[in-house]
Amino acid sequence: MHYPKLETLEPSVIYKQHKKYFESNRDGLNEFYKEFKNREAIISLLDFWMYALRCIVEVYGKDGVKAYSNYSIKSQIRFSYFLDYDVISVNEINTEVSVVNKCRIIFYIVSRCLQKAFLPGGKIKTTFDKVSLRLTRFIANSIPITIPQERQRNIINLLTESFEYENLNELKLCLNDTLPSVFFAEQVNIPGNKELTIDCSPMAFMDFNGAENLLLLSRKLYIIGRQHGGGYDYFSDNKLQFFEQQLSDCFIGWGMSKINEKQSRYSREKPLIKSDFHNKRIVWVERGLLSLILYPMSPTVFAQHHNKLAISYIYGELSSMDVTYFNLPYPGVLRVNDYDGMRGQELQNKSSKGEDSLANSDIVIFDISGSSLTHFCIENDILFIIILSRSDVSFFTKKKKEWFSVLRDNGLIYFDDEYGLLSQKLNEVTTNDYMYPKKVEDYHKRVFIDI
């Protein structure tokens, strides 16, 4: 399949074209969903889905659109990973199908009794929360959806009116095959009108695995969206993150967002592997592969993941030292080949959780700034150094620039053209008398820990 060269695409133009198109349909969409309690959330989700479809068109062309029409899962991001790397994702909602699936009586009882709902990425603290997560999944699987063909035809006609595509009949066929039913199904009326809070990662809806059908309920949902990995509110051009936050009534980050809570993905109480303070390891954490669709969605993140200069810079610095170093590759099929021939001793990541391979006395090197493992290092006082391109800084948010300055002033961030400085720093921090910089420690506690 032929892909247009990514460097010919302009992510900001793609987004502006989408917004111009989508906003031109705003009045029609408000009318189409006027009876729905969760009208705004459904339209926000449709906004993302149509933007992602435009990204498919721009990145993969007509052949990609045809391939997506034949793909069984509605998520364009999942499709992109499948097309690029043959990754088949597991459907988190629909894999847990109950024997009483579609049983209306049980569905109505459970949906009325549920006080707070949880989906993947939500903050689960108690056994009751775990039960609520399972009940939410049951409800999502059991919603008795009604799909009038006329509504499907009407929404497809509305969506194709101003979408710039050379063959509108092909576009209509694509929408007929791929548009998730949440966008044209009838509202599902259930007893009670009390607002239901759902605590989750917004991607639980944006994955189109079945959870999105909860928006069809006649009970108003209040979505608490949560950060579920690294890099949130780091870059001003991250449109994927924008749509997650737009879908949320309240979005909670891990330190860089407007509203923050201490992350709960990594625990300080978690026992780390045996470490020897007098034998510090240098561990180079590798990035994973990103699908091509993420180039227009998150261009700076994508650029960091494809910055080969950072890899060769780190290798050159480590090679100049008389030191044994270790590599922690990204697990599974998203392992990056760019490190081939430059890896030190490879750490075995049997659990596929990178944190299981790190020790308290390690010095960790990242060649991207948005790795979620930076939060594990912060939580467990593990020293880390980040290597970046100078061009990355211009897209930093105000809060990210502040953090960058703290790390930079204390010699824990280097650019990939500062030859000799990383090796010099590593020689310094591997000595037994090196202490974690207090200004960095205080900043991390204030911004990421004591919140």
The answer to whether position 422 is within a domain reads yes
Asked, for residue 60, whether it belongs to a domain, the answer is: yes
Separation between Cα atoms, residue 450 and residue 213, nearest integer Å? 37
Looking at the structure, do residues 15 and 105 belong to the same domain, yes or no? no
Strand, helix or coil at 117? strand
Are the CB atoms for 73 and 89 separated by under 8 Å? yes
Q: To the nearest 10°, the Cα dihedral for 407, 410, 414, 418?
A: 160
The Cα-based distances of 296 to 40, 43, 163 in angstroms read 25, 21, 18
What is the CATH number for 331? 3.40.50
Tokens representing 441? 């420690």
Measure the CA dihedral 362/367/373/374, to 10°: 80
Q: What is the pLDDT along the chain (451 residues), one digit of tens a residue?
A: 556 678 789 999 999 999 999 999 999 999 999 999 999 999 999 999 999 999 999 999 989 999 999 988 899 999 999 999 987 654 444 433 344 444 565 566 666 667 799 999 999 999 999 999 998 988 888 888 999 999 999 999 999 987 878 788 888 999 999 999 999 999 999 887 889 999 999 999 999 999 999 999 999 999 999 999 999 999 999 999 999 999 999 999 999 999 999 999 998 855 566 555 557 899 999 999 999 999 999 999 999 999 999 999 999 999 999 899 999 999 989 999 999 999 999 998 878 899 999 999 999 999 999 999 999 999 999 999 999 999 999 999 999 999 999 999 999 999 999 999 999 999 999 987 899 999 999 999 999 999 9
Q: What angle do CA 145, 245, 379 make, to 5 degrees?
A: 115
In a domain, 249, yes or no: no
Considering the domain boundaries, does residue 268 fall inside one?
no
Q: Looking at the structure, tell me whether residues 5 and 107 fall in a common domain.
A: no
pTM, two decimal places: 0.92
Tokens 């002033």, located at residue: 409
Residue 232 lies in a domain: no
pLDDT of amino acid 163? 84
Same domain? For 100 and 163 the reply is no
Q: Where are the alpha helices (DSSP H) in 25-126?
A: 26-32, 39-69, 76-85, 104-113
- Residues 312 and 427 occupy one common structural domain: yes
pLDDT of residue 398: 96
In a domain, 270, yes or no: no
In a domain, 95, yes or no: yes
Q: Are residues 173 and 161 in the same domain?
A: yes
Same domain, 167 and 287: no
In this structure, the number of other CB atoms found within 10 A of the CB of residue 105 comes to 8
Quote the number of domains for the chain: 3
**Domain limits at 332?**
282-449
Contact 66, 42 (CB under 8 A): no
Give the per-residue pLDDT at 271: 56
Please indicate, yes or no, whether residues 69 and 163 belong to a single structural domain of this protein. Answer: yes
Same domain for 163 and 106: no
Same domain membership, residue 314 and residue 222: no
In Å, what is the CA distance from 389 to each residue of 144, 229, 302? 51, 22, 13
The answer on 126 and 34 residing in a single domain is no
List, in order, residues 6 or more apart from 82 with CB less than 8 Å away: 71, 73, 88, 89
Helices (H), 180-238: 203-206
Residues 406 and 427 in one domain: yes
The neighbouring-strand residues paired with 346 are: 327
DSSP 223: E
Q: Please indicate, yes or no, if residue 258 is contained in any of the structural domains.
A: no
- 244 vs 44: CA distance, rounded Å: 9
Burial 171-205 (b: 16+ CB within 10 A, else e): bbebbeebbbbbbbbebbebeeeeebbbbbbbbbb
Same domain, 290 and 379: yes
Tokens of 2: 């032929």
The CA distance from 225 to 232, in Å, is: 12
